[in-house]
Structure 1
Amino acid sequence: MEDKDMEKNDVSQSRDKEKDGDSYEKVCYMCRRPESKAGPMISMPGGMNLCHDCMQKAFDSVMKNGMDLSQIPNMPYMNLNFNDLSQTPRQTEIPKKQKLRKQKEPQPQLTMKDIPAPHVIKEKLDEYVIGQERAKKVMSVAVYNHYKRAFLEKDDADGIVIEKSNILMIGPTGSGKTYLVKTLAKLLDVPLAIADATSLTEAGYIGDDIESVVSKLLAAAGNDVERAQKGIIFIDEIDKIAKKKQTNTRDVSGESVQQELLKLLEGSTVEVPVGSNQKNAMTPMATVNTDNILFICGGAFPDLEGIIRERLMKKSAMGFGAVLRDSFDNDPDLLSHVTNEDLRTFGMIPEFLGRLPMTVTLKGLDRDLMVRILREPKNAIIRQYEKLLALDEVKLVFEDDALDWIAEEAIKRGTGARALRAILEEFMLDIMYEIPKDPNIGSVVVTRPYLEKNGGPLVRMRG
């Protein structure tokens, strides 16, 4: 009897699994949108699923007058399986009640009152970003003026039209370009899309089209076109689309990408797919106007310092007013002397630079800035580890000499602030592994000898 009961339970469980077989989200065969984006799917023979939009377009293309599929509540004839072909249409079961999806509440639209003044924006950025004072000041003013322009009613009575103020950020790797934009969008609570210029190619070639950056912004705004049209697009690694110096092949990811970005930066109307990166006849499209979208382009621009130094050295001459040849060799703020002439020599076309009127240069990080980055920001790396060990009721302390050693080692690696986390991850691994073993440990002090591998951390017991 017990064996029979066990078999019955197994059969019932297998049936329940068959009923719940749709644990994976269905994807439309035509437009490749998931069920959460396109709504309920229509199951076709062979495991093929279609959304209502694609099915409607298919019927409209066959029938001239069209056929409104939304009037059919459940489409019993479309949800067929091969086992149901032997049944008559009357034998197919039609559910009496259909579950309705909860409609998403519309997000509140931005107003000018939601955008703080430039000094308030900079004060908030100071809590998260250390150094780069001029960059924070320029971006605060640029963002504030941009949104004043975006919310300005279009009244040409006085004939004054405010132009866009897109930003070009130049700085070495790890200086905080991407982190500055992310923090800015988080503080302003506006949609932000971060795109990589290395994946952009000319239309018709393998890679992402130019409109894909607008599609990412639309997805970040919850497919709300009005909200997306007042968002921020950050195109990183913009130096990678510079003109190639010597090439015998077609430059599909260099100068041609710059030329296709011109209208997008200046302000134009583009059609982008909704809920998908694929652009085909079955994917619903949305029209987005980029006139009020703030574009921020950033890049490390390697070897640009050499171009600037070479231009400055041309001014050298003989006499008392001559510029010494080695006067710019160790200048940490050499990028601040950049001009459009230097960027054109690097490989950027003048039409592209003309649509980025504001140029911001970020300084490289020295030892003092590295130590401040470890300590002062709200989301400092040391504070993150302190919080992790506080969950185990253990106090974590870093000595000043230890922080100085970490900063010096990070400068040697040459990857900016990214090296700080890499170094801490390396030395905190043993501490994070050993500390939870003993519940009597009360505090851990990280010392310089431990980092230099001449000893261990100072561990203090409770009481």
Structure 2
Amino acid sequence: MSEQDFYEVEPTQEETTAETADTSDHDDKDEYEQICYICHRPERVAGKMIKIPGGICICADCMQKTFDTMNYSGISMDDMMNMSNLNNLNNNGKMPNISMINLSDLQGFMPNQQKIKKKKKSEQKKPMLDIKSIPAPHKIKASLDEYIVGQEHAKKVMSVAVYNHYKRVAADTDDGIEIEKSNMLMIGPTGSGKTYMVKTLAKLLDVPLAITDATSLTEAGYIGDDIESVVSKLLAAADNDVERAEHGIIFIDEIDKIAKKKNTNQRDVSGESVQQGMLKMLEGAEVEVPVGASSKNAMVPMMTVNTRNILFICGGAFPDLEEIIKERLNKEASIGFKADLKDKYDKEENLLTKVLVEDVRKYGMIPEFLGRLPILFSLEALTEDMLVRILTEPKSAIVKQYQKLLAMDEVKLVFEDDALHAIAAKAKEKKVGARALRAIIEDFMLDIMYEIPKDDNIGMVTITKDYIEGKGGPLITMRGCMELEDKEAVI
């Protein structure tokens, strides 16, 4: 025996690197379930996989079908076994013009976004939600206040509903008392902050969120997205983790677009049919969805998601709903000597705050659908003062964004109060809510953002009311003048 056998031989750097790569590759494979290459079913559905050279996995069912097909096709097994060498095959002349598939080229045929994560044993015992970790309603509202201006009633309703929902998820049902879901229907004029409020809420709670439009949804079998596609988006947002997705939030915007169509003789495939198809999903059902794709026809694995603990929030502008509310209010107050005038509600901006379930039903939403959205609330129309506050108060206010941009050029940006009110007045005229603010400021800041970097002597830019109204330009202050002003202020 040689002397070298008595000592451990240290691995070379190349060997260590190769071992590390193999370990990381092994960990990556352990994280995801194996998928059958032929039927695309995951391991938990299809059973134990058979591995063949090239890193390809095939389930037992597909392997058996393959053998059955070969037995009935007339090709002998001996010929199939001799196919390993293409050159020998072509030289022998048995099966000319047939190219063999190199299985090593098929490794990694499915991207991670279409793979399903394994359930870890340690995570199965650990509860997904703890009642102590759920923030109280006043804390949820306080966090929303930092980002959203006004809408006090809407923020209060949403905070309580979300708190109760996650208490329901964490609650024990051994006593036989089962708490019902608190799905929400949010009504508000365009640009009032419906989507932004839901996005902020999901970010604060750190739960997966899927936002989708109801406009693309159609009845199964017709061109458009199937109803289950909204759950598929949530699964993608949860990184294909089914347990995490089952505690997420789905926000369906433009829900008013699936109202029943009036005076139509054709099949309503994108209206009432979609509402009926969503009933079971809103209440809680086992939904089979494609992983990493929006269509069931794609060759991707399918996964079952239980929507029982998913919070659904539906939102819409509901145009012309004010007319239905006005008609109801006029009927209630137009009898007798002290009857109100019929034009009493014509100029009222926040008429949507008086909405009732019967108004939404008359708009075209079926009663069964509304019954599964028990919490109905509306957002206020934005006033000029609210628009001014939106410009300056939130953490990511538009004015603060531009001040940060110019601060990178060492220039101070100041908006006068009159200028802010002039911008809000212009946005109010456009009747598209807070969305108009960004467009208006972009227009006025274009020349400033273009000219400022040319001159390093500029120290401050002041936006005035005259500049917003087109009567003058912004006030430019040079750096020397700014230093003099600072000295005078100190004296």
Question: Into which bin does the TM-score normalised by the smaller protein fall?
Answer: 0.7 to 0.9
RMSD: 3.3
In 2: Cα distance, 1:428 partner to 1:83 partner: 70
Superposed counterparts of 1:23-172, under 5 Å: 52=56, 59=63, 61-63=65-67, 109-155=128-174, 157=175, 159-172=176-189
Structure 1 residues 208 and 395: CA distance shift in structure 2, 3 A: same
Aligned to 1:183: 200
Asked if 1:372 is matched to 2:389, the reply is yes
Q: Give the TM-score, by structure 1 length.
A: 0.79
Report the Cα distance in structure 1 between the residues aligned to 2:148 and 2:441, rounded to whole angstroms.
19
How many residue pairs get matched? 400
Change (3 A) 1:149 1:318: closer
Aligned equivalent of 2:364: 347
Q: Which moved more, 1:213-222 or 1:109-118?
A: 109-118
Task: Quote the Cα distance in structure 2 between the aligned partners of 1:57 and 1:273.
Answer: 21
Deviation at 1:283, TM superposition (A): 1.9
Q: Is the 8 A contact 2:229 2:295 kept in 1?
A: no
Contact 2:38–2:62 (8 Å) recurs in 1: no
* SS of structure 2 residue aligned to 1:195: strand
- The worse-fitting range, judged by mean Cα deviation, of 308-317 and 106-115 is 106-115
Matched AA of 1:120: K
Alignment of structure 1 residues 386-425 onto 2, 5 Å:
386-425=403-442
Contact 2:136-2:163 at 8 Å conserved across structures: yes
Query: Quick one: distance in 1 between partners of 2:244 and 2:327?
Result: 45
Q: Offset of 1:346 from its aligned partner? A: 0.5
- CA shift, 1:393, in A, is 0.9
Asked if 1 retains the 8 angstrom alpha-carbon contact of 2:235 and 2:242, the reply is yes
Distance of aligned partners of 1:433 and 1:55 in 2 relative to their CA distance in 1, 3 Å threshold = farther
2:427 and 2:416 mapped to 1: Cα distance?
17
- The residue type equivalent to 2:203 in the other structure is K
Aligned match of 2:44:
none
Does structure 2 retain, via aligned residues, the 8 Å contact 1:315–1:322? no
SS of match in other structure, 1:259: helix
- Give me the whole-angstrom Cα distance separating, in 2, the residues matched to 1:239 and 1:257: 12
Counterpart contact for 1:232–1:296, Cα < 8 Å = yes
Instruction: Give the Cα–Cα distance (whole angstroms) in 2 for the partners of residues 281 and 81 of structure 1.
Output: 33
Q: Distance in 1 between matches of 2:181 and 2:437?
A: 37
Q: Does 1:247 align with 2:251?
A: no
C-alpha deviations, 1:312-333, integer Å up to 9, x for none? 1112345443222122112222
TM superposition shift of 1:60: 5.0
CA distance, structure 2, for counterparts of residue 441 and residue 160 of structure 1 = 68
How far apart, in 2, do the equivalents of 1:254 and 1:309 lie?
25
User: Does 2:397 correspond to 1:357?
Assistant: no
Write the deviation string for residues 412-449 of structure 1: whole angstroms up to 9, x where unpaired: 00000000001011111111111111122111111111
Cα distance in structure 1, aligned partners of 2:89 and 2:151: 70
Compared CA separation, residues 283 and 313, structure 1 to 2 (3 A): same
- TM-score, structure 2 length as denominator? 0.75
Does structure 1 retain, via aligned residues, the 8 Å contact 2:37–2:58? Answer: no
1:232 to 2:249 alignment? yes
Equivalents in 2 of 1:163, 1:231: separation in Å?
16
**Is residue 335 of structure 2 the alignment partner of residue 335 of structure 1?**
no
Task: Provide the residue aligned with 2:320 in structure 1.
Answer: 303
Moved more, 271-280 or 360-369: 271-280
Identity between Structure 1 and Structure 2 (%)? 66
1:165 to partner: Cα distance? 0.8
Of residues 286, 292, 302, the one that matches 1:275 is: 292
Checking the alignment, whether the CA contact within 8 Å between 1:54 and 1:282 is kept in structure 2 is: no
**Unaligned stretches of 5+ in structure 2?**
1-35, 41-53, 71-80, 93-100, 481-491
Give, in whole Å, the separation in 1 of the partners of 2:383 and 2:89: 74
For 2:389 and 2:280, the matched residues in 1 are separated by: 41
Conserved? CA contact 2:216–2:224, under 8 Å: yes
Q: 1:340 to 1:52 in 2, by over 3 A?
A: farther
Change in 2 beyond 3 A, CA 1:434/1:341: same
Residue 45 of structure 1 is matched in structure 2 by none
Q: Secondary structure at the match of 2:185?
A: strand
Instruction: Name the amino acid aligned to 1:126.
Output: D
Structure 1 Cα separation of the partners of residues 223 and 235 of structure 2: 22
Give the secondary structure class of the aligned counterpart of 1:344. Answer: helix
Q: Distance in 1 between matches of 2:56 and 2:91?
A: 25
Change (3 A) 1:453 1:139: same
Q: Secondary structure at the match of 2:344?
A: coil
Q: Which has the larger radius of gyration?
A: 2
SS in 2 for 1:113: coil
Q: Could you give the per-residue CA deviations for residues 29-51 of structure 1, whole angstroms, max 9, x where no partner exists?
A: 9899xxxxxxxxxxxxxxxxx99
Give the alignment of 1:310-325 within 5 angstroms: 310-325=327-342
Write the distance in 2 (CA, Å) between the matches of 1:51 and 1:234.
40
In structure 1, how many angstroms separate the alpha carbons of the residues matched to 2:69 and 2:200?
A: 52
Structure 1 residues 152 and 394: CA distance shift in structure 2, 3 A: same
Q: Do the aligned partners of 2:39 and 2:62 also contact (CA within 8 Å) in 1?
A: no
How many Å apart are 1:126 and its aligned residue?
0.3
Taking a change above 3 Å as real, the CA distance of residues 275 and 317 of structure 1, as seen in their structure-2 partners, is closer
Distance in 2 separating the partners of 1:175 and 1:110: 32
Question: How far did residue 87 of structure 1 move?
Answer: 9.7
What is the rounded CA distance, in whole Å, between the counterparts of 2:200 and 2:186 in structure 1? 15
> Partner residue of 1:263?
280
Tell me which protein shows more helix as a share of its residues.
Answer: 2
Which residue identity is paired with 2:158? M
